[in-house]
Amino acid sequence: MQKLSRRQTLTSILAAGATVAVPPARADGATARVSLLLINDIYRIEEKNGRGGMARFAAVVRAERARTLAEDSHLICVHAGDTLSPSLLSSFDQGAHMVDLFNDLELNAFVPGNHEFDFGKEVYFDRMRQARFPVLAANLRSAAGMKLPRHEDQILIEAGKLNLAFIGTAFDGTAIASRPGDLVFSPTISTVLANAEKARAAGADLVIAIVHADKATGAALMNSHAVDFILSGHNHDLHIDFDGRTALMESEQDANYVTIADIEVTQNRGQADRSSSWWPNFRVIDTAKVISDPAMLAKVQMYSAGLNRLFDVEIATLAAALDSRTGALRSGECAIGDLVADALRSASAAEVAIINGGSIRGNRIYAAGTRLTKRDILDELPFGNKTMATKVSGTSIVDALENGFSQIERPTGRFPQVSGLVVSANPAAPPGERVKTVWVNGEALDLGREYKIATNDFMASGGDGYGMLAGKTHVSPDSGTRLVALDVIDYIAAAKRIDAKIEGRIVFQ
């Protein structure tokens, strides 16, 4: 867009009743300094590789709170959604630990993401009842069209003599992405536009939208210039954008990075519409450089210790030995590969499953008679991959298998482990021509038919060359509601006795 001079901006946009982003050099009205601090998509409470986690995040919040207090500025902490699921801990307490930890941090606003509904509507209501922070969701209503208890469409926060309006919206694709029951989600953009108008009419000096939305929605909202600032979640991007009128921030995920905008707002006195001018200065805090807050660290460690105890429990006995050595998983059918693929297929009620051998990492042999623990399964499936169910054509299944066999000369993680399929292949043929016959549950594969397939989100998003397994499903870093490891644990625990053997699912001619 054309960059307007300050004078042009003031005259042309004030006429439209909007605020303007200009350096507030001419202090002819009330001024305020505000710092917007954003996190989003927090699944993991511990740090990972020395970065992220709640203890480092708490240290950032406490340092910023002390700074803003000393400088007569205002700190506003926002969580833009996705936090109750999926994680190992959430599988036990359905996200209660997250609400507990965020209750300690005095968030100023939270918007629900799609993952808040992974355990259903009632659990969501329970968690929001436990929350001691404002929950904003202007586009979320009951089936009867009513605002939900403890939810607001927007809130006004006073900063000195200035009023800042915060409008929140939940992820508008939640009905497809998660399990919100009969709750109704309206489109993000029209909801924000309508609420922005209300906020300006009520005299807001700055209008901030907190949205859990995809990239296209965030960009469209920015281009609409209906609000001054957009705080976004869902895409797991470290993203800062500013076109001179509207700004957008997103803070990657898991508090690895925290984005902060320090804004000076000046109310333009004498304007009937209370228009104001403002200018943002952006900061990105890399939490690898932050020393953990001791009190929050103690709480995180308490939760982690509890989780450890929960995973040191036996779930099944092995009737036959199980081999998870890397070389075996990357060169041929493996009993443990069959087991994991069977578990995903069962959890997804799919016709077939394909997983990459590289996703199984224990690299050991379990003797017959071993009592498997939940911990063993976590060690085998350490990546935090999520289960994905999609629909793909028979042709895509062949393409996926060809991709899986394409590097067989030098075993790699893409070697497929399958369920519901019997495949014969010729490893001596050129890559792309190695698959000879494919049977699906006893019938010859129909290239033109659609099949429901289970896989993991790493593959469906293109990992190891398996992008064809997404089918028509839009797969993002946010896709999937259950961890692969948890689906496998449940499957094995239900079986109690595991007698997995190589069955001839993949046969080399």
Q: Each residue of 266-300: b (16+ CB within 10 Å) or e?
A: bbbeeeeebbbbbbbeeeebebeebebbeebbebb
Does the protein bind Zn ion through residue 113 (CB under 5 A)? yes
* Contact (Cβ atoms closer than 8 angstroms) between residue 271 and residue 18: no
Q: What's the CA gap between 239 and 433, in Å, rounded?
A: 42
Which is closer to Zn ion, CB of 250 or CB of 490? 250
Residues 18-57 as x/- pattern, contact with Zn ion by CB under 5 A: ----------------------------------------
Give the range of 107-115, 270-278, 331-339, 428-436 binding Zn ion by CB under 5 A.
107-115
Q: What's the CA gap between 174 and 90, in Å, rounded?
A: 19
Question: How many CB atoms lie under 10 A from the CB of residue 437?
Answer: 12
Residues 137-176 as x/- pattern, contact with Zn ion by CB under 5 A: ----------------------------------------
Which is closer to Zn ion, CB of 42 or CB of 77? 42
Give the range of 91-99, 265-273, 291-299, 474-482 binding Zn ion by CB under 5 A.
474-482
Which is closer to Zn ion, CB of 113 or CB of 332? 113
Strands 206-212 and 162-169, sheet pairing: parallel
Ordered alpha helix ranges (H), 312-373? 326-329, 335-347
Q: What's the CA gap between 105 and 39, in Å, rounded?
A: 12
Which is closer to Zn ion, CB of 82 or CB of 487? 82
State which of residues 47, 82, 254, 323 lies at the interface with Zn ion (CB under 5 A).
Answer: 82
Give the H or E element holding residue 105.
none
Which DSSP letter does residue 338 get? H
Does the protein bind Zn ion through residue 338 (CB under 5 A)? no
**Which residue's entry shows tokens 């281009």?**
223
Does the protein bind Zn ion through residue 478 (CB under 5 A)? yes
Does the protein bind Zn ion through residue 114 (CB under 5 A)? yes
Does the protein bind Zn ion through residue 299 (CB under 5 A)? no
Which is closer to Zn ion, CB of 127 or CB of 330? 127
Which is closer to Zn ion, CB of 80 or CB of 435? 80
Please give the distance of CA 126 from its chain centroid, rounded to a whole number: 21
Does the protein bind Zn ion through residue 218 (CB under 5 A)? no
CA-closest candidate to residue 140, choices 118, 172, 166, 114:
172
Q: What's the CA gap between 211 and 251, in Å, rounded?
A: 13
| Cβ 85 to Zn ion shortest distance, Å | 10
Residues 229-258 as x/- pattern, contact with Zn ion by CB under 5 A: -----x------------------------
| Cβ 116 to Zn ion shortest distance, Å | 9
Give the range of 69-77, 113-121, 155-163, 371-379 binding Zn ion by CB under 5 A.
113-121
Q: What's the CA gap between 171 and 165, in Å, rounded?
A: 20
Query: What is the contact surface with Zn ion in residues (CB under 5 A)?
Result: 82, 113-114, 234, 478
